[in-house]
Structure 1
Amino acid sequence: MRVLEIGGATPRDRGLDRGRQVAGVVRVHWPVYLDLFAIAGWSEMEVREHALASLDALGDWWPDGRDEVLGVADGAELPAWIAAALAGRTEVLVARGGPDASASSGRECTILATTEPAAAAQVWDWHRELAGAWHAQHVRGAPLAFAGVTEHGICAKVGMNEAGVGVLLAILSHVEDRPGGVPIHAVLHRILAEATTVDAALAIARSAAVTSSSVLTLVGPCADGARTATAMELSPVGAAVVAPEVDARGQGWLPRSNHFLAERLAVGSRTFRGDPDSPDRLALLRARIAARDARVAGAGDLVPMLRTAPGEERGDICCVARPEQPLGRAWQTLATVAIDAAGLTIVEGSPLDAPSASLHVPLR
């Protein structure tokens, strides 16, 4: 697992530092992103237009975020629109249902969290062909230092900051999804760079004019210092906090797959990437919650609950790509991320794999 150390006194400086470090990997994998955009129905010219519109939306909402993306472009010696397309790749890919929208299913990330103790874990699922295009990172120089996982050229994805606020992400899909809005990855970036409490993170998420749908699972301190976890669904038509599900022992749970749970937003929900097993994965998580005979002590108890072997149970949480699957259909669990009061842990691969490279960042 590659771990990058990113730093700089200004957003542009941090972007330049990142761009210089990731330039080679971005150049190798950029054609794959272009192919995925084409599968989603967009020409290269359309991708450029959507990317620059998204960059403008980011600049209106968070100028520092725009400056950092432009720094990435300059550091990597790439056109600004390519850095912007990476930052806003979700907005382009989901706009028409994403790659493989009408073909056999493409699964996505699954998350499990508890409110007390505040702990969360997720599997990050992405395309097999981009397995070499991600890294772990430590970022310093922003208002808050943070660590996490992201793709080469994208400033942030999931992770935890030095204030103890952590964020995980699962994609959703809504009929109003379209390109051109504030990138969801920029929302995660700003939360990690600025949010000192879960409430502050929720406020940042609510303020963003997003045009793609997601659920954010947030773990961290409240204003009174107590730690909690919560989940917020975002869509182009609004945002909603989803109440935890309480088990027989009184423990609150936040299980998530890839469909809306908030009734108001679910009205416009559509099945993501032709994925029929999002309800199955959620049902499997709920069954495992009900079957537990003890309360969860930390995120380490959640990770085994995300383990599935292909075809063994209803709902495959761990993605295992098959050799015959083409680009756009070959989904693989690339990393497992866990967050609790002890800090952030990133493991390369899925809970199904043998123990592999890992990174633990303690909460200061």
Structure 2
Amino acid sequence: MRVLEIAGASPRERGVDRGRQVASVVRAHWPVHLQLFALAGWSEAEVREHALASIDALGDWWPDGRDEIAGVAEGAGLEPWVAAALGARTELLVAKGGPDAHAGATGAGHPGRECTILATLAPAAATQVWDWHRELAGAWHAQQVRGGPLAFAGITEHGICAKVGMNEVGVGVLLAILSHAEDRVGGVPIHSVLHRILAEAETVEAALAIAASARVTSSSVLTLVGPTADRGRMTAAIELSPAGSERIEPEPDALGQHWLPRTNHFLSRRLAAGSRTFRGDPDSDDRLRLLRARIAARAGVEPVRGALDLVPMLRTAPGAELGDICCVARPEQPLGRAWQTLATVAIDAEGLTIIEGSPLERPRARLHVPLDS
């Protein structure tokens, strides 16, 4: 597992530092991104246009985030729109670039798989698997970032300033993608929302406020874990979409323990009215039913002590369960259809744990980051 140390006294300086460290990997994998954008229905000229619109939206909402992405381009020797496109790659890949673009990213009969999250309220703990394209398995890294309002750590993709992680005061955020009929390009990138939460939020309440304030044009659910304004700890989930945002109520088990299981469809009744099944994927419902079955089976058997206790509940062997939480790409699957669980992330009061690979695999490289900076 590659771990980058990013630092700088200003957003631009942190971006330049990042850009210098990731330049070779970004250049090696940029053609893969262009191919994925093409599968979603975008020409290179359209990618440039929409990426620049997205960076403008980000600048209106959070100038520091825009400046840091500009620094990435400078440090890596990239055209600014390329760094902007990496930051807005979710918006480019989920929006409909043409009549068949949404299905085209995976192809008929080859549903895409995406991230699964499981969280508890007591203790406040959460874990997720991160699923992405096999061809980009070498284009992510763990990171520790210093120099901004708050230091933070987590995982991200080369050239993207932040993804999931936890900051030095203990606020952590996990991400799963959703899909809405109003999803489009040009809004505040969801990865920049995560970045701002990690860089600025000192409480879960503050993180929720940041998330709700962003004019996003792609849909996601954020699971937040960490301290509260009254010095307690809490777990919360918020769904974001172009149609608005909404907190999601936790689900009690038979003994009153509260859980937040998440896959890739809306649970908010209001937002679900415009829901699209992500990438033509019927597996999201199956994975949620599997999580709920495992929650029910655990009730009264063994208490959850921390986030690592949740990791085995995300373990699945391909085709052996109701839904495949752990993604295993098959050799014959082409670009856009070969999904792989690349990392597992767990967050609780003890800190952040990043595990390379999926819960299905033998233990691989692991990084634990404590709360203090």
Q: TM-score range by the shorter chain?
A: over 0.9
Residue of structure 2 in register with 1:318 after alignment = 326
User: How far off its partner does 1:363 sit?
Assistant: 1.7
Amino acid at match of 1:30: W
Amino acid at match of 2:371: L
Say whether 1:304 aligns with 2:312. Answer: yes
Say whether 1:291 aligns with 2:278. Answer: no
Aligned length: 364
Residue of structure 2 in register with 1:127 after alignment = 133
TM-score, with normalisation over the residues of structure 2? 0.97
- Tell me how far apart the structure 1 counterparts of residues 108 and 84 of structure 2 sit (CA, whole Å): 27
Residue of structure 2 in register with 1:65 after alignment = 65
Residue of structure 2 in register with 1:12 after alignment = 12
For residues 229 and 101 of structure 1, do their structure 2 counterparts lie closer, same or farther at Cα, with a shift above 3 Å needed? farther
User: How far off its partner does 1:103 sit?
Assistant: 4.7
From 204, 208, 217, the equivalent of 1:211 is 217
User: How far off its partner does 1:294 sit?
Assistant: 2.4
Percent identity over the alignment?
Answer: 78
Tell me, yes or no, if the aligned pair for 2:107 and 2:337 is still in contact at 8 Å. no
Tell me, yes or no, if the aligned pair for 1:165 and 1:218 is still in contact at 8 Å. yes
- Tell me how far apart the structure 2 counterparts of residues 272 and 131 of structure 1 sit (CA, whole Å): 21
User: How far off its partner does 1:274 sit?
Assistant: 1.2
Tell me, yes or no, if the aligned pair for 1:101 and 1:272 is still in contact at 8 Å. no
TM-score, with normalisation over the residues of structure 1? 0.99
User: How far off its partner does 1:170 sit?
Assistant: 0.1
SS at match of 1:116: coil
User: How far off its partner does 1:32 sit?
Assistant: 0.2
For residues 171-210 of structure 1, what are the alpha-carbon distances to aligned partners after superposition, in whole Å with 9 as ceiling and x for unaligned? Answer: 0000000000000000000000000000000000011000
Residue of structure 1 in register with 2:56 after alignment = 56
- Tell me how far apart the structure 2 counterparts of residues 100 and 313 of structure 1 sit (CA, whole Å): 22
Residue of structure 2 in register with 1:239 after alignment = 245
RMSD: 0.8
Q: Give the ranges of 4+ consecutive aligned residues of structure 1 lying more than 2 Å apart after TM superposition.
A: none
Tell me, yes or no, if the aligned pair for 1:337 and 1:347 is still in contact at 8 Å. yes
Amino acid at match of 1:349: G
Say whether 1:24 aligns with 2:24. Answer: yes
Residue of structure 2 in register with 1:277 after alignment = 283
Structure 1, unmatched stretches of 5+, are none
Structure 2, unmatched stretches of 5+, are 97-101
For residues 26-57 of structure 1, what are the alpha-carbon distances to aligned partners after superposition, in whole Å with 9 as ceiling and x for unaligned? Answer: 00000000000000000000000000000000
Residue of structure 1 in register with 2:366 after alignment = 358
Residue of structure 2 in register with 1:328 after alignment = 336
- Tell me how far apart the structure 2 counterparts of residues 334 and 290 of structure 1 sit (CA, whole Å): 28
- Tell me how far apart the structure 2 counterparts of residues 101 and 87 of structure 1 sit (CA, whole Å): 25
Tell me, yes or no, if the aligned pair for 2:328 and 2:341 is still in contact at 8 Å. yes
Amino acid at match of 1:109: C
Tell me, yes or no, if the aligned pair for 1:40 and 1:100 is still in contact at 8 Å. no
User: How far off its partner does 1:230 sit?
Assistant: 0.6
SS at match of 1:149: strand
User: How far off its partner does 1:295 sit?
Assistant: 2.3
Amino acid at match of 1:313: E
For residues 96-145 of structure 1, what are the alpha-carbon distances to aligned partners after superposition, in whole Å with 9 as ceiling and x for unaligned? Answer: 23722655201000000001100000000000000000000000001000
Tell me, yes or no, if the aligned pair for 1:251 and 1:295 is still in contact at 8 Å. no
Mapping of residues 73-88 of structure 1, within 5 Å: 73-88=73-88
- Tell me how far apart the structure 1 counterparts of residues 243 and 184 of structure 2 sit (CA, whole Å): 11
- Tell me how far apart the structure 2 counterparts of residues 358 and 51 of structure 1 sit (CA, whole Å): 34
- Tell me how far apart the structure 2 counterparts of residues 131 and 262 of structure 1 sit (CA, whole Å): 32
Tell me, yes or no, if the aligned pair for 1:17 and 1:72 is still in contact at 8 Å. yes
For residues 63-109 of structure 1, what are the alpha-carbon distances to aligned partners after superposition, in whole Å with 9 as ceiling and x for unaligned? Answer: 00000000000000000000000000000000023722655201000
For residues 78 and 334 of structure 1, do their structure 2 counterparts lie closer, same or farther at Cα, with a shift above 3 Å needed? same
